[in-house]
């Protein structure tokens, strides 16, 4: 078949971790005991009250189409949540409910980008950010954020890459993959730059409920009305409520932006899953104790993982303040040979550990940070202990 396919979409990259993921699944299918630190979802059950709400809706039969941009009742509850927890005042017409936060991000870039528009992306970044920008004919512009600054954006670095084509900046706090959390002072600096340079801030806050060490999550949109008008807030049910497969995300923005996103969604997917929307109402309105129980469990695992990694020769990490990831520094191993295998990059490091230590880790290259590996502590403390022991034994014994 000699047909030219979409040139734009032929340039969309597959995840550089797919080969490792496929090999991990193959090994597990063969009965090999692989410890995986790759998972990006809570290892907890969806809370009972949310599951019961979904069952009740199914039994009532109220599972037809809803409004394309989301149930009016769910939008109202989201507005109440944003007011109560984030000090943000929105109306239902400002809210778009989508099929997960990734779908929300897709809608955003389709709505705001024109060909050649530049979108600033701090590095390390979540793997889908650059591709979502490219799919909207935008151009990703990267800013390297150092481990010394906890992988966070500096004002001077932001100013150095702004051009006449800059349309937006992506802000992810708490961050996947680094667990970094921006302070109010840091957010104020970014907000000042965004307002002065007429930039949109795409604020991904999906991990907001998972913060530690007495820190608090602050939405940049809550600082003042000027930055709120320029911010699109993204959140959802997947991480804080262990509802990854339910696929409910949402955005809060100006009515003008929301209208465009709603129009896009009405043709692309229509409404998000009806049952999941009703379940999300219960999640946001109901008992929140399960969220805190999950956060405490993650906190315990986080502390153990950080201490154990820093006890392994030639490995290190900083302490994340949010989410459920650690970025492990492997720079001292780059260029070294381990039992006949030369480590040239994070992909090599991941393949060697998977093959020989039976431990699966996500290479930092997937996030634009090749001297690092991302480890998720959304797995049991026993798995974390065993997996890190395997790594230590293989590398150093």
- Spatial distance between the Cα atoms of 71 and 69, rounded to a whole number of angstroms: 7
Q: How confident is the model at residue 19 (pLDDT cuts 50, 70, 90)?
A: low
User: Would you identify the CATH topology of the domain 49-285?
Assistant: 3.40.640
Read off the pLDDT of residues 132-157 as tens digits, 9 standing for 90 and up: 999 999 999 999 999 999 999 999 99
Question: What's the pLDDT score for residue 17?
Answer: 64
Domain boundaries, the chain: 8-37+290-396, 49-285
- Spatial distance between the Cα atoms of 318 and 125, rounded to a whole number of angstroms: 17
Question: What's the pLDDT score for residue 18?
Answer: 64
Q: What are the C-alpha distances in Å from 126 to residues 123, 134, 178, 271, 315?
A: 9, 14, 9, 26, 22
Output phi, psi for 205, to 5 deg: -120, 30
Task: Specify burial of residue 78 (Cβ count, 10 A radius: 0-12, 13-18, 19+).
Answer: buried
- Is the pLDDT assigned to residue 21 strictly greater than 80? no
Read off the pLDDT of residues 336-389 as tens digits, 9 standing for 90 and up: 998 888 999 999 999 999 999 999 999 999 999 999 999 999 999 999 999 999
| 8-37+290-396 under CATH 3.30.300.30, yes or no | no
Read off the pLDDT of residues 295-343 as tens digits, 9 standing for 90 and up: 999 999 999 999 999 999 999 999 999 999 999 999 999 999 988 889 9
Read off the pLDDT of residues 143-200 as tens digits, 9 standing for 90 and up: 999 999 999 999 999 999 999 999 999 999 999 999 999 999 999 999 999 999 999 9
Strands 325-329 and 359-360: unpaired
Read off the pLDDT of residues 39-68 as tens digits, 9 standing for 90 and up: 888 999 999 999 999 999 999 988 999 999
Q: What percent of the chain has pLDDT over 90?
A: 91
Question: What's the pLDDT score for residue 16?
Answer: 67
Read off the pLDDT of residues 70-98 as tens digits, 9 standing for 90 and up: 999 999 999 999 999 999 999 999 999 99
Mean pLDDT of all residues in the chain? 96
Name 183's Cβ contacts closer than 8 Å, sequence gap at least 6.
218
Per-residue tokens: 112: 């705001």
């Amino acid at each position: 078949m000699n047909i030219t396919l979409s040139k734009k979409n032929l340039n969309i990259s597959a995840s550089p971790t797919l080969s490792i993921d496929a090999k991990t699944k193959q090994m597990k299918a063969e009965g090999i005991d692989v410890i995986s630190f790759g998972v990006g979802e809570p290892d907890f059950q969806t809370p009972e009250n949310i599951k019961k709400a979904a069952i009740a809706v199914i039994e009532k039969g109220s599972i037809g189409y809803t409004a394309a941009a989301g149930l009016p009742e769910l939008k109202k509850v989201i507005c109440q949540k944003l007011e109560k927890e984030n000090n943000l005042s929105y109306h239902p017409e400002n809210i778009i409910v989508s099929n997960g936060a990734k779908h929300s991000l897709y809608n955003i870039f389709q709505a705001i980008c024109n060909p050649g528009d530049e979108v600033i992306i701090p590095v390390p970044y979540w793997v889908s950010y650059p591709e979502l920008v490219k799919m909207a004919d935008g151009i990703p512009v990267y800013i390297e954020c150092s481990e010394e600054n906890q992988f966070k954006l500096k004002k001077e670095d932001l100013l150095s890459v702004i051009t006449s084509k800059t349309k937006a900046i992506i802000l992810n706090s708490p961050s996947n993959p680094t667990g970094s959390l921006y302070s109010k002072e840091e957010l104020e600096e970014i907000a000042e730059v965004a307002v002065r340079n007429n930039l949109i801030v795409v604020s991904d806050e999906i991990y907001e409920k998972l913060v530690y060490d007495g820190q608090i999550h602050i939405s940049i949109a809550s600082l003042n009305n000027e930055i709120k008008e320029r911010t699109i807030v993204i959140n959802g049910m997947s991480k804080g409520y262990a509802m990854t497969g339910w696929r409910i995300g949402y955005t809060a923005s100006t009515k003008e932006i929301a209208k465009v996103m709603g129009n896009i969604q009405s043709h692309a997917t229509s409404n998000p899953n009806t049952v999941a929307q009703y379940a999300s109402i219960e999640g946001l309105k109901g008992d929140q104790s399960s969220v805190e129980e999950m956060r405490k469990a993650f906190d315990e695992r986080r502390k153990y993982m950080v201490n154990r990694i820093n006890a392994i020769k030639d490995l290190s990490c900083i302490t994340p303040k949010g989410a459920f990831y650690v970025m492990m520094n492997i720079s001292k191993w780059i260029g070294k040979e381990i039992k006949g295998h030369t480590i040239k990059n994070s992909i090599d490091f991941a393949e060697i550990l998977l093959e020989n230590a039976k431990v699966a880790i996500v290479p930092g290259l997937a996030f634009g940070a090749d001297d690092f590996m991302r480890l998720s502590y959304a797995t049991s403390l026993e798995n974390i202990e065993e997996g890190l022991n395997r790594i230590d034994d293989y590398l150093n014994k």
